[in-house]
A and B are shown apart, each in its own frame.
Chain A
Amino acid sequence: LSHGAGGRAMAQLIGEIFAENFANDLLAQGNDQAVFSVPPGRLAMTTDGYVVSPLFFPGGNIGSLAVHGTVNDLAMAGARPLHLSASFILEEGFPLADLARIAESMGAAAREAGVKIVTGDTKVVERGKADGVFISTAGIGVVPDGLDLSGDKARPGDVILVSGTIGDHGVAIMSSRENLQFETQILSDSAALNGLVADMVAACGESLRLLRDPTRGGLAATLNEIARQSNIGVRIEEDALPVKPEVAAACELLGLDPLNVANEGKLIAFVAPEAAEKLLRVMREHPLGKDAAIIGACVDDPHHFVQMRTSFGGGRIVDWLSGEQLPRIC
Chain B
Amino acid sequence: MTQPARQREQQPTRLHLRLRGAVQGVGMRPFVHGLAARFSLSGFVRNDSEGVLIEVEGFTQDFVAALHAELPPLARLDSCECEEIFPRGDTGFVIETTRQGRAQTRIPADAATCEKCLDDLFDPSSRFHLYPFVNCTHCGPRYTLTRALPYDRAQTAMARFPMCEDCANDYADPTNRRFHAEPIACEKCGPRLSHQPQDIVAALRAGKIVALKGIGGFHLLCDARNADTVLELRRRKDREAKPFALMLANAASVALFGRPTPAELALLRAPAHPIVLIDSSRNLPDTVAPDMTRLGVMLAYAPVHHLLFRAAGAQRNAPCAFAVVATSANPGGEPLITDNDEAQRKLEKIADLIVTHDRDIVVRADDSVMHIVDGAPAFLRRARGFVPEPIDLGEDGPSVLACGGHLKATLTLTRGREAFVCQHIGDLSDAETFRFYEESATHLLRLLDIAPEAVACDLHPDYLSTRFAEDFGAPVLRFQHHAAHIAAIGAEHGETQILGAALDGTGLGADGAVWGGEVLRLDGHGGFTREGSLSALPLWGGDRAAREPFRMGVAAFAALGRLDEASAFFSAVPQAAQAAKMLGAKHPQTSSLGRLFDAAAALLGYPERQEFEGQAAMRLEALAREPRVLAGGFVWRDGKLDFTPLLAHFIDARPDARAGAELLHGTVIAGFSEALCALTQSGEKIALGGGCMMNRILSEGLAARLREENRAPLLARKLPPNDGGLSLGQAALARAVLMKV
Contact = CB atoms under 8 A, between A and B. Distances in A.
Interface of A: 177-181, 252-256, 303, 305, 307, 310, 312-317, 319, 321-323, 325-330
B432 interface: yes
Contact of B461 (A316, A323, A327): A323
B597 interface: no
B332 A330 contact: no
B585 A177 contact: yes
Contacts of B516: 330
A256 B551 CA distance: 14
B151 interface: no
B561 to A, nearest CB: 19
B546 A327 contact: yes
B369 to A, nearest CB: 17
Nearest to B726: A330
A328 B332 contact: no
Contacts of A316: 429-430
B541 A328 contact: no
Contacts of B334: 314-315
B429 to A, nearest CB: 6
B441 interface: no
Interface string B417-451: 00000000000111110100000000000000000
Given A317-B430, A329-B407, A255 B505 contact: no
Interface string B394-420: 000000000001111000000000000
A321 B723 CA distance: 21
Residue from A178, A312, A323 having most chain B Cβ neighbours under 10 A = A178
A140 to B, nearest CB: 36
Nearest to A328: B406
B722 A328 contact: no
Contacts of B545: 255, 327
A182 B277 CA distance: 47
Interface string B210-253: 00000000000000000000000000001000000000000000
Contacts of B613: 329
Consensus secondary structure, chain B interface: mixed
A317 B429 contact: yes
Contacts of B547: 329
A328 B582 contact: no
B585 A178 contact: yes
19 contacts: A179-B585, A180-B578, A253-B575, A253-B578, A255-B540, A307-B431, A310-B332, A312-B238, A312-B332, A314-B332, A315-B332, A315-B334, A316-B429, A319-B464, A326-B460, A327-B514, A327-B590, A328-B506, A329-B506
A177 B292 CA distance: 42
A87 B16 CA distance: 85
Interface in B508-566: 508, 514, 516, 539-547, 551
Contact of A255 (B331, B429, B542): B542
Contact size range, B:
35 or more
A305 B543 contact: no
Contacts of B543: 255, 325, 327-329
Contacts of B431: 303, 305, 307, 315, 317
Interface in B577-596: 578-579, 581-582, 585, 590, 594
A310 B540 CA distance: 25
B535 to A, nearest CB: 18
A328 B238 contact: no
A164 B333 CA distance: 31
A255 B541 contact: yes
Contacts of B585: 177-179
B514 A326 contact: yes
B462 interface: yes
A330 B691 contact: yes
Nearest to B512: A326
B506 A321 contact: no
B575 A329 contact: no
Interface of B: 238, 331-334, 405-408, 428-432, 434, 460-464, 481, 504-508, 514, 516, 539-547, 551, 575, 578-579, 581-582, 585, 590, 594, 613, 691, 722-723
A174 to B, nearest CB: 10
A330 B462 contact: no
Contacts of B539: 327
Nearest to B579: A253
Contacts of A327: 506, 514, 539, 542-543, 545-546, 590
Contacts of B463: 328
Nearest to A301: B431
Contacts of B542: 255-256, 325-327
A252 B507 contact: no
A5 to B, nearest CB: 37
Contacts of B430: 307, 314-317
A314 B432 CA distance: 9
A330 B405 contact: yes
A252 B544 contact: yes
6 smallest beta-carbon distances between A and B, as pairs = A255-B541, A314-B332, A255-B542, A330-B505, A322-B461, A255-B544
B592 to A, nearest CB: 9
A184 to B, nearest CB: 14
A324 to B, nearest CB: 8
B432 A330 contact: no
A254 B722 CA distance: 27
Given A255-B551, A327-B546, 7 more contacts: A180-B582, A181-B581, A254-B541, A303-B431, A316-B429, A317-B434, A330-B594
A303 B547 CA distance: 30
B469 to A, nearest CB: 14
Nearest to A180: B582
A18 B181 CA distance: 87
Contacts of B429: 316-317
A329 B582 contact: no
Nearest to A319: B462
B232 to A, nearest CB: 17
B723 A330 contact: yes
Contacts of A313: 331-332
B481 to A, nearest CB: 7
A108 B460 CA distance: 44
Nearest to B506: A327
B288 to A, nearest CB: 23
